[in-house]
Structure 1
């Protein structure tokens, strides 16, 4: 403790001594410090010079170098020495300005660039590219001349140009304006380098330019060059995307199989000409069952490697995952581990990307069908805020149908899906449902619960959807407990309020199209809840005289009256019958309770009933008379009898249809060619009404 106290005392004495000494030297009084005004700096002649000097001094200080002043005269005036201790010199050697130094550096850079091979050619191609890239500013004749000059420069040297980032753009432009022969010439000249080009940040786009024209000869030159290099390229930051684009967009079925085989093991890379060429994984494993464990492990490692690197958007990856899943035993530990790998992907990017490819969507549907209730809930949660985009996609809409068919908890599925695809508020509700009713893919997600697998809902273009649904229904037999019909009715109950409110809010937008009329018919026949407001809204679309608009100045032209459209008349007749006609039984399958639409529609069209009876929708009037719940049948019959002459005239006279009206109705040339065939004369609906009278 003693040394510590002595140290403190000593430091105190030092401070006191210092103060006393100052007092003694100043006669006991403190002198004020003399503060002189700072000297004005010499004016800088150039702003660029000033900025350069500040940046140079800053960088020198950071690097630990000696601070150098710009103006040697200032150094001389103050008597400072230079960095080496000698006096500064004011000779011509040190009088170079910053601008001159930059100019000299630029000149040196240009000399170095000019010393490189093909320097003049590259410079010329860049100038040609600058003109050609502005397509709208270059006349066609001048553009042809520029392209010819460009080809004269690059022909025979394409390999040298494509590996230079500033010259490859010119080659791409040359391909853009090239002829078929010129494209093939470039493709052949680049043969043997496509795998290297795919790894280049800029040259990879050249491959896409060559393949975009769908030329089979060029495709067969490029795709085989990726054989044996798939494992390397699929992990490469640049090459992976162009490889997947080639695989997805242009490769033939056999080429896809050859590329995908390299995911199964090294031997499939080395021995390509064996008996397994062109076969899928199931066939390969059937031929060589002893290698199953080795192949499946190698494939699993490849899949995990890409998932861990977050490279989950590749179609090739989704195809490989589907092949792996299809060759796992149902209920096995490997299947459970695979499902966990898919679910545990952070942010759900893997599942979201899979939904938008054909193989990926099929895999997600099968995972939903074969998983547990907990698995299904987690998968459904992953697609939150994505269902609206999915319902209109060619592949992703099938994931929504699978959720309808396999998830027993209908409250979960309805709360997860319906608010997104149908809209959470009234404004979005109407917009979304109009889209759902008319989009070729989205309409399936809206009407599937009402129509099932009907031919009208799944045309020939969607035949694959029916195949996948059959696969889903087979897989759910061991995993789903609820009866499918009960599940369907529960989902309709959750969906109905959204649909009925949209029909009541925007009936004209929906009945304007054929798909919209089919949608309205399905909902009003099979939905649950109060339909009165929706039926009144649909009936209101029939108000007014059933005539075509004669105002040609209005743009866009107003939609035709509902009675003048075939889909509108068919919808009204279906609603009047409270059911659809069944061809097997030859009768209308009425819904319970009936709609009683006849009493709602008749007051709206009563004023123009004769025009309806003699117009394109005359069968609607016949439907009124056939409706068993129509209370004004006697009144309608009396009106028709008093206009029997008009009905006779409409029933016997040939309908004169103008050619422009045929175009408006969207008739094809094939239908026009059938004009020669004999057609029934007169209005067939009017004939039917005369028979009833």
Structure 2
């Protein structure tokens, strides 16, 4: 019979015996057949006499043979009194302390030190030397000797010890204070490992020291070893710092283009210059030569830029250049996505050329929400941005592209109004006013500045440019007219303030601005100061001259006389009695402008024709041109 069949037969017999025993039990208070009824049972009160006396019954045995059964319960493992890792660490520390007691000549002590901290002895000796090396009391000869000692200690293991903080500090000091031969020896020891060193947390500081204090050969060695790894350094926290300094302080123009091309893809960065793609300096040139490359280049650069932005590396020059070109040459959908990413950091990078290109692109191509975010980020800093050579271009772009003129008035113009005199006489800040008074005028904006500002995108800027300008002039012209009336002399003597004065007078001529009264007031104020004595050279009182003959103010008088007949009449009325004297004193250019103005030409000609001989004999500036004009009118 099989074993499992025998086991089943035994189990069946056992079950039958249990059923017979249960049937033979009488109905009682102890149905389980215990030797003693329990003190508390689910079947009612106990029927024994002990219940009446209140005595406790002993617990019944849980076995049929009246012998108590010892139940073996599974015991839990006791919780450790300490962390196993901590206990191991304590054991290791005690073991290490015991090994330190071994004499220094023992092999066990040396072995344990090497296991715990490689090159520990060498690094410790170098730090002691460094304490003498970095003091000002150390002589040049002693310093050279100390650098030699450190280099001998680190010979053959320069890269390994540069992974340690204290050793890296020592190496930086050696390179900075060492002689050229010592620096050359250190660079030879690191040859072929500079790229790995650029990714090191401590080692990359030596590369920064090489860029700052190294020779042209050292920098070229660094440039050569980093070639082909720009994309990896671009998104690395330490590597990006090395890349930034190399790009801004070391690389030539052609090398900058080569570094930038590596972001497009390895196939573009490593091409020879003989190739058309290798000569491409911008994405525009690349896409014109190879249109099919646009999708993959854009995808790669978007991945790199987003990864760098997540790590907080969006302020590097290469990142700004790449972002600016992506916004400029991308299609509408790509621009929209890029602007939403770049708008928050645009204000922090707009002090550089490429950073300003990014910020201007966000304002030009962003929607109302993006533009508002950029303007809101400049709150309380508009005046500072206006005085920055690139920050002012972002303000000009906002004044040219944002349709919400109420927002512009509150966010920009409201912060400029309290400082109008300072803004009007500043070389860069004046452009914010001139962008409204004379938009995109090549007389005041250079070609490079206009390229950074860019053209307004009609898909997001719906309002007509002239309508936007008139709405801004309503807020800007009244305070400007008041400024010109109260500070006519200060503005006239400033080359920047003179431009603001002239364009304010021109803008006030438009009947739609309702500023005719203010224009008359400011022109009269300047004409009344024409004969006032002012300093010819800034605040220095020496060399005072009439305002008419001031080298800068005279240009403003000439332009206003040619443009505004009422100003020419008012000015002539103050000069007529001594017109010939003014010509001899250096105001011949202003008199020539009065001669060319239709409102005053006849009166000036009548007054000066009898004095042609005296004008011809004068050596004052402008007399020859005035004389030629007078003779031509005879």
Query: Could you tell me the TM-score, scaled by structure 2's length?
Result: 0.64
Aligned to 2:4: none
Aligned mate of 1:598, from 531, 556, 568: 568
Once residues 478 and 604 of structure 1 are traced to their aligned partners in structure 2, the CA distance between those partners, rounded to angstroms, is 53
- Cα 1:627–1:463 change in 2 (3 A) is closer
- Does residue 463 of structure 2 align to residue 466 of structure 1? no
In the alignment, the residues of structure 1 paired with residue 212 and residue 449 of structure 2 have an alpha-carbon distance, to the nearest angstrom, of 29
Match in the other structure for 1:412? 407
- CA pair 124-183 structure 1, distance change in 2 beyond 3 A: closer
Residues 378-424 of structure 1: per-residue CA shift (max 9 Å, x gap): 4433433343333333433332232233223333334322223x23x
- In structure 2, the partner of 1:652 is 617
8 A Cα contact 2:405 2:468, kept in partner: yes
The residue correspondences of 1:24-43 to structure 2 (distance < 5 A) are none
Task: From 519, 522, 528, give the equivalent of 1:531.
Answer: 519
Q: Please say if 1:358 is aligned against 2:353.
A: yes
Match of 1:613 in 2: 583
Question: Aligned equivalents of 2:356 and 2:337: distance in 1?
Answer: 20
Q: Is 1:506 equivalent to 2:487 in the alignment?
A: yes
Post-superposition Cα deviations, 1:196-241, rounded to whole Å, max 9, x if no partner, equal 5445566545434433479654333213433455555444444433
- SS of residue in 1 equivalent to 2:585: coil
Alpha-carbon deviation of 1:570? 1.9
Matches within 5 A, 1:532-611: 532-544=520-532, 557=542, 560-577=545-562, 579=563, 594=564, 596-602=566-572, 609-611=579-581
Task: Please give the per-residue CA displacement for 1:155-200, whole angstroms capped at 9, x wherever unaligned.
Answer: 6658478666556667656666778777666545543343454455
Which residue pairs with 1:490 in the alignment? 471
Cα 1:310–1:165, aligned 2, differ >3 Å: closer, same or farther?
closer
The superposition leaves residues 340-399 of structure 1 with CA deviations (integer Å, 9 ceiling, x where unpaired) of 3345xxxx2x12134334334334433433344444344433433343333333433332
Give the corresponding residue for 2:211. Answer: 211
2:123·2:166 contact (CA, 8 Å) conserved in 1?
A: no
**Which of these residues, 429, 433, 445, is aligned with residue 442 of structure 1?**
429
In the other structure, the counterpart of 1:676 is: none
Q: Which residue of 2 aligns with 1:395?
A: 390
- What does residue 104 of structure 2 align with? none
How much does 1:246 deviate? 2.3
Contact 1:613 1:686 in 2 (8 A): no
Task: Call closer, same or farther: CA 1:341–1:128 in 2, change over 3 Å.
Answer: closer
Name 1:341's counterpart in structure 2.
Answer: 341
Does the CA-based 8 Å contact 1:619-1:685 persist in structure 2? yes
SS at the partner of 1:131? coil
Quote how far apart the aligned CAs of 1:117 are. 1.4
CA distance 1:573–1:294, shift in 2 (3 Å): closer
Determine if contact 1:312/1:353 at 8 Å carries over to the other structure: no
Structure showing greater radius of gyration is 2
Counterpart for residue 307 of structure 1: 309
For 2:136, what is the secondary structure of its paired residue?
helix
- Superposed CA deviations along residues 58-102 of structure 1, whole A, max 9, x for unmatched, are xxxxxxxxxxxxxxxxxxxxxxxxxxxxxxxxxxxxxxxxxxxxx
Residue 652 (structure 1) shift: 1.4
Q: 1:531 to 1:174 in 2, by over 3 A?
A: farther
Distance 1:196 1:385, change over 3 A: farther
d(CA) in 2 for partners of 1:143, 1:222:
31
Deviation at 1:520, TM superposition (A): 2.3
Change (3 A) 1:558 1:183: farther
Check whether the contact 1:596–1:630 (CA below 8 A) recurs between aligned residues. Answer: no
Shift of 1:450: 3.6
**2:496 equivalent among 515, 521, 525:** 515
Aligned equivalents of 1:605 and 1:146: distance in 2? 78
Moved more, 491-500 or 179-188: 179-188
Aligned equivalents of 1:556, 1:205: Cα separation in 2: 53
Q: Counterpart in 2 of 1:80?
A: none
Q: Which residue of the partner structure matches residue 673 of structure 1?
A: none
The one-character-per-residue Cα deviations of 1:271-303 (angstroms, maximum 9, x if unpaired) are 888976665667777898888766644543333
Deviation at 1:572, TM superposition (A): 0.5
Task: Give yes or no for contact 2:420–2:483 (8 Å, CA) kept in 1.
Answer: yes
**TM-superposed deviation, 1:324:** 4.1
The answer (yes or no) to whether the contact 2:126–2:167 under 8 Å persists in 1 is: no
Contact 1:214–1:250 (8 Å) recurs in 2: no
Measured in 2, the distance between the counterparts of 1:383 and 1:603 equals 48
1:14-50: per-residue Cα shift (whole Å, max 9, x none)? xxxxxxxxxxxxxxxxxxxxxxxxxxxxxxxxxxxxx
Q: Does 1:383 align with 2:378?
A: yes
| 1:619 CA displacement | 2.6
After superposition, the Cα gap between the structure-2 partners of 1:183 and 1:389, relative to the gap in structure 1 and judged at 3 Å, is farther
Secondary structure of 1:117's partner? Answer: helix
For residue 523 of structure 1, report the CA deviation from its aligned partner: 2.1
2:322 aligned with 1:320, yes or no? yes
Deviation at 1:602, TM superposition (A): 4.6
SS of the residue 2:586 aligns to: coil
User: Structure 1 residues 329 and 509 mapped into 2: Cα distance closer, same or farther (>3 Å)?
Assistant: same
Deviations 1:576-619 (CA, angstroms, capped at 9, x unpaired):
22x2xxxxxxxxxxxxxx46123443565567644322122223
Deviations 1:131-178 (A, max 9, x none): 18xxxxxxxxx9765665565455665847866655666765666677
2:97 maps to none
The equivalent residue for 2:424 is: 433
Q: Does residue 246 of the first structure (1) align with residue 246 of the second (2)?
A: yes
Question: Which one of 119, 130, 133 corresponds to residue 135 of structure 2?
Answer: 130
Alpha-carbon shift at residue 335 of structure 1 (Å)? 4.6
Give distance in 2, aligned partners of 1:357 and 1:208: 22
CA distance in 1, matches of 2:186, 2:347: 39
2:599 maps to 1:623 = no
How far apart, in 2, do the equivalents of 1:124 and 1:204 lie? 22
Q: 1:505 to 1:115 in 2, by over 3 A?
A: same
Q: How many angstroms apart in 2 are the aligned matches of 1:315 and 1:547?
A: 44
1:591 alignment partner in structure 2: none
2: CA distance, partners of 1:294 / 1:114: 47
C-alpha distance 378-263 of structure 1, shift in aligned 2 (>3 A): same
In structure 1, C-alpha distance between the alignment counterparts of 2:477 and 2:125, rounded to whole Å = 72
Give ranges in structure 2 of 5+ residues lacking alignment: 1-116
Change (3 A) 1:606 1:415: farther
Deviations 1:471-502 (A, max 9, x none): 524xx244433333333343344322333333
